[in-house]
Amino acid sequence: MFNLLPQEEQLSVDHEYRLRLAATGLLFLAALSTVAAIALIPSLFLSYQKEAVILKRETALKEEIALGAKDNLTSVLRLTGKKVAALSAETADLYSYRLIGNITHSKSAGIKITGVSIKRAEDGGRDVAIMGEAKNREALLSFARILEQEKIFTDVSVPVSSFASAADINFSILAKTSLAKKK
């Protein structure tokens, strides 16, 4: 295609086109920057609020450390004393695996043990809960009597509800051990 414009006007039109293209690009860039700045304003306010909260916590922590430094030494000494007392106390020569071994050794053919739960009691002994299934009432009663005869258990109790059904009884036996050492 032939261009009938003189060379100077062709350069002038080309220059004007490039200026308009640059102006449009700058306008779109300015619009995009404005939208981005508006979108970031909530984040800015949120960060200012978080900074204020962190500064408040910092001052509160500094005050607590300043006030607690006096009592800190005494609490550390008390805690250390409790740890020493716990480590130096005579503990019973009774381990969980021995308890479970005694229980499984004591069970008869009509008893199936499904669970054993052992907890430390406040008096230093252990509270033992034995869960399982018994074939009938007689098997459950004989198992409870065998556990009562064991020297390791001081108290064995079977809830009356365990004897409600005649066969295939789901039972729970509660037993207690003492703190005294075995000799």
The pLDDT tens digits for 33-70 are 999 999 999 999 999 999 999 999 888 888 877 776 65
How confident is the model at residue 159, as a pLDDT? 83
Q: In which band, very low, low, confident or very high, does the pLDDT at 21 lie, cut at 50, 70 and 90?
A: very high
Contact 154, 125 (CB under 8 A): yes
Tell me what pLDDT residue 89 has. Answer: 53
Please give the Cα distance from 125 to 153 (Å, whole number): 10
Strands 126-136 and 153-157: unpaired
Lowest-confidence range among 71-75, 94-98, 132-136, 177-181?
A: 177-181
Flag whether pLDDT at 112 surpasses 60: yes
The mean per-residue pLDDT over the stretch 146-155 comes to 85
pLDDT at 180: 52
